[in-house]
Amino acid sequence: MIIKETMYFATTNQGKLKEASTILGVEVVGIPLEIDEIQSLDPIEVATKKARSYWSSLKKSLFVEDVALFIDSINGLPGTYIDAFMKALGNEGILEVLKSDEQRDATAQTTIVYVDVKGNNHLFVGRTIGSIALKPRGGGFGWDPIFIPKGSKKTFGEMTMGEKNKYSMRSKALKEFKKWLDKTGY
């Protein structure tokens, strides 16, 4: 097989598309189709169901991602429900929930599922261990201002894109995907 020159990513987020294109070394085109996501605490299940739904509608090879943030002191929440937590509470609200917690360890995870043209699923996971800051610092997207990756004193929100990509769970998952693409020729 020959590596594709164009890949389809179920997102319309231009930043994600650019990052994926840079890491994968191919043109990455966004898919604007909206689907209903299942509710599950399992990020692999969420990403797989999402990928299968897109593939069933489009019948072409594509990939999806799902991002989760697991905070140890609240039993792994919000996990896959991070988007709902951010809409309901925002960064300040999450920090309020954690205000009396000394233990602020967290794991950020990106799960990518690629469905090939034959309908076979391929899974790639990137994880970043870190902690939750005491207050928001910097800008960025979503919870970037409150997540500090292990090995850094900066939040994702305080980092340049290059700095963030050294730690980013999305970057790790995309690099695993790229290794697989190079190895298999998909």
Residue 101 catalytic? Answer: no
Instruction: Render pLDDT for 135-175 as a digit per residue (tens, 0 to 9).
Output: 999 998 899 999 999 999 999 999 998 899 899 999 999 99
Domain-embedded: residue 1: no
- CATH code for position 168: 3.90.950.10
pTM score over 0.85:
yes
Domain-embedded: residue 88: yes
Annotated catalytic residue within 36, 66, 83, 105: 66
Domain-embedded: residue 47: yes
Q: How many domains does the chain contain in total?
A: 1
Cβ proximity of 129 and 137 under 8 Å = no
Q: For residue 117, give the DSSP letter.
A: T
Domain-embedded: residue 124: yes
For residue 156, give every residue at least 6 positions away whose Cβ sits within 8 Å of its Cβ, in sequence order, or none.
138, 140, 143, 144, 145, 147, 148, 149, 164, 167, 168
Cβ proximity of 13 and 31 under 8 Å = no
- In the chain, the amino acid numbered 20 is A
Domain that includes residue 134, residue range = 6-184
